[in-house]
Chains A and B, each alone.
Chain A
Amino acid sequence: MKEIQNIRNAVKFIQSNCSADDYTFSVNNSDQHYTRFAQNGITQHISGQKQSVSLSVAFAARTGTASVNRLDQDSLLNLVKTAESLAKLNQPDPEFVPSEPACELPEVDNFSTNTAELTIETMVDNIQKCVENARIRKAIVSGISERNINTSYFMTKNGFEGYDKTTSFSHSMTMKKDDVETKVSNSVLDHAKFDMNRQIDLLNSQFDSLKKPVELKPGRIPVILRPAAVLQWMFYLIWTFDRRNADEGVTPFTGQIGKKFFGENFSFRSRLDDPDLIAGKFSPEGIPGSNIDWIERGVIRNMTTDRYYGKKLQIPAMNPYNIILDGGETSESEMMQMVDHGVIVNNLWYIRPVDRKTGEWTGLTRDGVLYFEKGEVKHSVYNFRWNEILHTATERILALGPAIQQEYYARIPTLLIDDFNFVDVTTF
């Protein structure tokens, strides 16, 4: 309640003191606790509250933004003066768009009392379990356990007002012994839904499967990408999935909206009503959240769009607030029966664009790679480098596993993709 009252007082101050033609005002608070461990011991341990207070103003089309990290009156006065003086010194922005008006926001619940009340002692107890598990295997474990409570407030001179409170708990751990290293991670909105024992079982299962890796010659090889790997890929796909860049001809998506550009088995959505995923009440630009189909059975339905470009095209501005890929019903063992041989990849790493226009990316595998043949895992193999045009790779999706809640913002399936382009092999 004190937090809301402080924000209300700040809003009154801004309304009384800001003389700009238009403005947006936001307050973001976070209460964070991070416990980081490595080599079976805690190496970092951080706690504190952060605040970001931001004011964007416009005099006609001249704009300026200032941010401070306190809500006291001196800071707010400094905020108003700085933003206004920046705007007055600035050139008019030919793409200026007035702030958002009042609107109805979706009812969402991103807050969990279980997470908010999580104690440091419980977080350290969890890490103790990880370390004990590693010691049993004469291995070492490293990772991080983190708890976040975030509040976001956003208002505009034109009448928009939104407030949202979210929680999250994340835990990741990498276990290593000799040549074997593997990782699992999971995050949830509600700590009660986090199952430490299940995560440890998953880690052990991956760890035990990775014995004495050997080198496998790179080439076009069928791959089973587990959900953590698919999610890494999605981050980079979303990064380039912008409507304006597509229309301006700098990405592979030019002229493809409404057309089948991805594989039939590839559908990507954002949804407000998934009980395990964060729902976007409103975006940092003040756009109310809604259910969005981005790619439906390979057809591009929508692309990320900012307010200026949305207004120009007369379409809604939109951004993904969660990542949901449609899954299937094929199990991993069934996938292994569908191709003669292939590799199972736990995760991808260091993905970077090779060529923005063709949509070619490079990256490596990480956290363990298994070679299978005739439906059976044979042995683990060294990591690969891959160079792949990701949207064309979706045309080679042969099967999908059930979509699982991989992080508090993502529900992702395992994918079986034919002829994945592995181009090099590492020494481990």
Chain B
Amino acid sequence: MELLDQAMDSARSLGADYADIRIQNSRTESIFLRNLSLKNTSLRETHGYGIRVFKDGAWGFAHSNAFSRDEVERTVKKALAISRQSSRIKYGKGLTLAQERGYIDTYSTPLIEDPFSVSLAEKVELMLEINQALLNFQDIIQAVFTLECQKDEKYFASTLDARIRINTVYIEPMFSAIAAAEGDSQSRSFRPGGKATGWEWIRSLNLAEKAEKVAEEAIMKVRAGSLATEERRDLILDPIHLSLTMHESVGHPTELDRVLGWEADFAGISFATPEKLKKFRYGSPLVNFFGDNTLPGGLATAGYDDDGVPNQKWLIVKEGILNEYGSTRATAPVIGLTMSRGCNRATNYYDFPINRIPNLYLEPGKERLSPQELIADTRDGIYIQDQGSFSIDQHRVNFQFGGDMFWEIKNGKKVRPLKKIIYKSNNPEFWNSVDAICDERFFQTFGVTNCGKGQPGQRGRMTHGGATARFRQIRVGGSQ
């Protein structure tokens, strides 16, 4: 805490208009198992701090891993010197920061069993058991299991007198099997995404049962047929699949930095420009998307963002209309907003925080409806489970998605499994075609741990969710 105070005192005395320091210690345990061979068993620790200085409407950011008074002083001065260089080419008349006050607070991910307290031996034993269970099936030629556990301890201080301590933890398990037969090979995965929680989650998942289903469906898939031609059909998408489509086609387009063109050179911009706010029909009236960084288990749920702004819940799409963006203290004022929605996050201590997708989910339907009832109500459609191929243009309009498991629906029944299915759609066609969403009993979340954005690139984390939904008359067909 002494270094936090020193850094902020130093920044003030050197004339910074605003400054903050983020000390971050990140521990990542990674285990990668492939066909019973442990390809990676590692524990990585990264400890350091980044100092942002805002002066004359421009940023400077410097980082270091040396914890001494001299080094902190040197890093503050370096950040200030860089901000002076930045202010030679100001953004407009200079950036401004949305109003905020300094909070003194702590936040910790609620959990029962710290994943770092569970022995490596127990984790590896579980993973080997699952791997072996997959390989016991004759047609399974490759089985992998990856497990990542991460703990971040952060101290944040700013010249607004903020002093915040944040401890977050997440776990991400994933296993998959590849089946080979008849000259083809196809994979099927169990991939629930990352979750901010303790090891009790892993114990509740019943992985052995899921392994059996993964292997059976991989074998079923490799022998399945496909669709010959692209036609308009109804799509029924499960929550894990929907998490990826909403990430790409709603999450990214409503990041305010993209809207403003700040990512134009790499990740791209957005079609959802400010003149469309409160007017543009993004989806059907059933469609409500919440940004919610208070979501339990959410990977963006951390109490505060890296601007020191408290986590919030707000409507990004309200009854189908584009309502608001995810914003930061620097992006919000550019479109005249007086407050940030708290979406500024950095991955590591040496990363500059950038405007990130919040936890974002599709509100479940208000009428009682199950996935089985939805399938029974569909005459000609495709049911897609989990995630596969995905690609979207740099304005976030035109996209193509695959999936992990596909079923043909005829007259209300799943009649056969399929493989190599892709669908093409665009904004706003896709979300406007929603005519049914299952109710909250079927709401599921998926935590993204590898959202690539920024230059230099950062791996962002956030959670999505929804309940199984139906999309009318989307172009669906088989791949080549």
Contacts and interface: CB of A to CB of B under 8 A. Distances in A.
B142 A250 contact: yes
B82 A68 contact: no
Contact of B142 (A91, A248, A352): A248
Contacts of B186: 357
Interface in B97-139: 119-121, 124-125, 128
Contacts of A63: 38, 41
Interface string B326-360: 00000000000000000000000010101000000
Contacts of B65: 49-51, 69-70
A175 to B, nearest CB: 9
B417 interface: no
14 contacts: A44-B61, A45-B60, A45-B82, A45-B83, A46-B456, A47-B63, A67-B43, A69-B45, A70-B65, A120-B81, A142-B263, A250-B187, A356-B185, A428-B395
Nearest to A30: B350
Interface string B175-188: 00010100011110
Contacts of B125: 91
The size class of the interface chain A forms with chain B is 35 or more
B400 interface: yes
Interface string B453-480: 0011000000000000000000000011
A428 B47 contact: no
Interface in B18-77: 36-48, 50, 58-65, 75
B392 interface: yes
Contact of B90 (A42, A78, A425): A42
Interface of A: 32, 34-51, 56, 63-70, 78, 82-83, 86-87, 89-91, 93-95, 120-121, 124, 127-128, 131, 140, 142-144, 146, 172-174, 176, 181, 183, 248-250, 308, 349-358, 360, 362-364, 366, 383, 385, 387, 389, 421, 423-428
Nearest to A125: B88
Given A45-B59, A176-B264, A350 B420 contact: no
Contact of A39 (B39, B40, B260, B266): B260
Nearest to A124: B85
Interface of B: 36-48, 50, 58-65, 75, 78, 81-83, 85-92, 95, 119-121, 124-125, 128, 141-142, 178, 180, 184-187, 260-266, 268, 271, 350, 352, 354, 389-395, 397-398, 400, 402, 420, 422, 424, 426, 455-456, 479-480
Given A249-B185, A351-B391, A385-B391, A40 B142 contact: no
Contacts of A350: 391-394
A70 B420 contact: no
Given A142-B262, A353-B389, A39 B92 contact: yes
A128 B89 contact: yes
B82 A120 contact: yes
Given A48-B64, A146-B456, A174-B264, A426 B391 contact: no
- 9 closest A-B pairs by beta carbon, nearest first, are A41-B91, A48-B63, A65-B42, A95-B37, A142-B264, A67-B44, A38-B262, A42-B86, A174-B265
